[in-house]
Amino acid sequence: MQRTLLSIILALAALTAGAKNILVNTPNTTLLLTAEQGKTVYVQYYGDRIEDASQVKNAQIGRTPAYPCFGYGKDFFNSFALSVVHSDGDLGTDLCYVGDTYNEKDGIHDWVITTKDSKHNFEVDLCYRTYDNCDVMEMWTVIRNGEKKPVTLEKFASAALPFRQGDVWVSHIHGKWATEGYLTEEPLNKGVFEVSDIACPKNAFLNRPNIMLSLDGKPSENSGRTVGAVLCWSGNFKMTVNTNFEKYHYLVCGINETGSRYTLGKGESFTTPALAMVYSNEGKGGVSRNYHRWARLDGKIHNGQALRKTLLNSWEGVYLNVSQDGMEKMMDGVQALGGELFVMDDGWFGGKYKRSVDNCALGDWVTDREKLPDGVPSLQKAAEERGLKWGIWIEPEMTNTLSELYEKHPDWVISNPGRDVVCGRGGTQLILDMSNPAVQDFVFKVVDDIMTETPETYYIKWDCNMEVYSVGSSYLSADKQSHLYVDYHRGLIKTLERIRAKYPDLVIQNCASGGGRINYGLMPYFDEFWTSDNTDAEQRLFIQWGTSMFFPTCAMAQHVSASPNHQTGRELPLKFRFDVAMTGRLGMEMKPSDLNEEEFKFAKNAFSTYKEIRPIVQQGDLYRILSPYEDNGFASEIIVAEDKSQAVFFAYKFRQYAKQQDWPIFRFDGLDPDAKYTLTELNRVESPEAWEGKTFTGRFLMNTGLELKLKGVYSSCVIRCTRQ
């Protein structure tokens, strides 16, 4: 009798052992995977957190492969994440579950599910990481070649996920020089939707490696199930959603395989970049806030919790006409305004070739003594004497045909072998081959030399103004030419890691002709990014709105520049320019001496106001409210301190229509509904409105809102809310 019972129990155990559920949890979301010895690992659910798998199972929810592979079985047909040519030429891969592990340390949870091909000695680990402080789930794979000879990876995405078909929309970010970060939203129809980029190293120039899917129809800022997908990679990428007559929209994201076939020798492995997923019931805003928190708190932006200093950058003030006197005058200006940091931009260097035109000297990082006879350390001292920190511009991954570096190392540039070099900016710019360890050492040394010559350097603006136009590496062997795109970025990351190990506190800005390289592959090494070379405040409303979909305010460099604006010629009031710049890391990009007395007074006051609200603006939660993309000529947002004790609300009117305009009531968001807040207008130039100094409940401000007397086009209003 006992034996019969035991055998029944064992038989049942064997049956149920067949269906192991792996719940990958964030505080509020769950990814449910099912794994069975010797079989494919499946994704069965991604959504609100569940504590066990039974609801999903009982609801008969279907499943799709967690990491679909090309060439064997019925599952790969829809889309696949991995395609391998095995050592014997076999194109099929059939990954079967072998085992899994789970570890937790300091609020970080890691799951590794190991799979192995049913025929070859070829393994893939499916890796998942979550955090206690946000609902971000990272997914990536480690691909291992245990075969006797090399295998070739033809496609090697980071992850694949299904979303049930319906009225699903995609939001994506795109642009080009001076129009980066534009948001486009469209429904997902049958066919393949793709955002991709091949502009290595400026991988976020045209399209960015981040999208959102709104699962409940037209995207909304604060409601509806919404999913975010962010590829943490600084090289070429591809994100596709395949929609056909199956049940699912099928998302596959990873490194762009074009020109990037990768060979793995016996015993070698390949780690794909993380795909960071968010699921939220609070619309696009909920997804954004999770990414922002993850960026600030989980090291996805370097030093994410540190307050960023206000600065003056010399570029639009003097362009390449750098001089000792000119720099010191600008320092005087920013000191008088109450700024904290001065950054000398392009134009300060060059030996044989002088950087007075943008067609030479990149790579020759020696001070141009004709322009700066006393050298860079003396400028740092001049800044220090004025109570300012010191920063400097470099573009270390680049050179020009007109440079001593290129004359010495023509083989260090990326170029298609046997053909003429194809140059970028100035008709002479070229990219150094970061796959080459000698180039990595050189780039490290560029930073190290600056820090050795001027150890007090506080800030570096690291620029990158070119894409690859001619693919080829004289460092990589003929059979590894297709490794260049991947190895460039691995070499860059390796170099940045060395720099960070030696200079953890150096503030580094990521710039690539503006926002050409805003991605979470690089941001763990950079404190901020130059959001765009376009400093026109009206255009910035669109650029900053789109960029904020995935990136936090503390990382967004936003500078007040001259009027008329140098990129668009538009004239804008100084108040509007400040009010737009103050939603991120405030700076200036003009000669302060070009401000008249009244403007100077306003700017000085705005700098001091900004320093007061800085902790809220840089570390608070962003709620976007009125979108500039809605085309009614208004925009508004509010940034709320984590404990909801303080908030700063921003509203803008940037268009004037001939007929009566639809005039919104300005509703707030993110406040504590039961708390009372006193309102104070900041940067005020008109007489106070009726609500000035008055107290309202959060509920009233959020549900009813305020009438704002925004007078005329390019008027704006900034309101501080203080909880009583």
Which residues contact ligand GLA by CB under 6 A? 315, 345-346, 358, 393, 463, 465, 511, 513-514, 530, 533
Residue 410: Cβ within 10 Å count: 14
Taking the complex as a whole, how short is the minimal distance between the CB of residue 550 and ligand GLA, in angstroms?
20
Positive or negative: CA dihedral 350, 352, 355, 356: positive
Positive or negative: CA dihedral 560, 566, 567, 569: positive
Residue 503: Cβ within 10 Å count: 17
Q: Measuring CA to CA, which residue among 705, 710, 707 is closest to residue 677? A: 705
Beta carbon nearer to ligand GLA, 339 or 514 = 514
Assess contact for 460 and 507: CB atoms under 8 A.
Answer: yes
Beta carbon nearer to ligand GLA, 490 or 566 = 566
DSSP state string for 26-53: -SSEEEEEEE-BTS--EEEEEEE--SSS
Beta carbon nearer to ligand GLA, 343 or 484 = 343
Taking the complex as a whole, how short is the minimal distance between the CB of residue 656 and ligand GLA, in angstroms?
31
Assess contact for 681 and 719: CB atoms under 8 A.
Answer: yes
Cα dihedral 197, 203, 204, 206, rounded to 10, equals: -40
DSSP state string for 662-720: P---B---SS-TTSEEEEEEES--SPPPTTTT-EEEHHHHHHT-B-----STTEEEEEE
Beta carbon nearer to ligand GLA, 25 or 535 = 535
Beta carbon nearer to ligand GLA, 82 or 466 = 466
Beta carbon nearer to ligand GLA, 29 or 513 = 513
Beta carbon nearer to ligand GLA, 590 or 721 = 590
Taking the complex as a whole, how short is the minimal distance between the CB of residue 373 and ligand GLA, in angstroms?
22
Taking the complex as a whole, how short is the minimal distance between the CB of residue 308 and ligand GLA, in angstroms?
17
Beta carbon nearer to ligand GLA, 188 or 590 = 590
Taking the complex as a whole, how short is the minimal distance between the CB of residue 488 and ligand GLA, in angstroms?
20
Burial of 74 (0-12, 13-18, 19+ CB in 10 A): exposed
Q: Which residue is nearest to ligand GLA (CB)?
A: 346
Taking the complex as a whole, how short is the minimal distance between the CB of residue 275 and ligand GLA, in angstroms?
28
Query: H/E/C letters for each residue in 215-237?
Result: CCCCCCCCCECEEEEEECCCCCE
CA angle 497, 501, 505 (to 5 degrees): 110
Q: Give the pair of three-digit tokens for residue 296.
A: 């600030």
Taking the complex as a whole, how short is the minimal distance between the CB of residue 619 and ligand GLA, in angstroms?
26
Q: What SS3 state is found at 359?
A: coil
Beta carbon nearer to ligand GLA, 64 or 513 = 513
Taking the complex as a whole, how short is the minimal distance between the CB of residue 45 and ligand GLA, in angstroms?
44
Taking the complex as a whole, how short is the minimal distance between the CB of residue 461 and ligand GLA, in angstroms?
6
**Peptide bond connecting 564 to the previous residue in cis, omega within 30 degrees of 0:** yes
Taking the complex as a whole, how short is the minimal distance between the CB of residue 464 and ligand GLA, in angstroms?
9
Beta carbon nearer to ligand GLA, 140 or 349 = 349
d(CA 672, CA 647): 10
Q: What SS3 state is found at 212?
A: strand
Beta carbon nearer to ligand GLA, 137 or 446 = 446
Q: What SS3 state is found at 618?
A: helix
Assess contact for 243 and 250: CB atoms under 8 A.
Answer: yes
Taking the complex as a whole, how short is the minimal distance between the CB of residue 98 and ligand GLA, in angstroms?
48
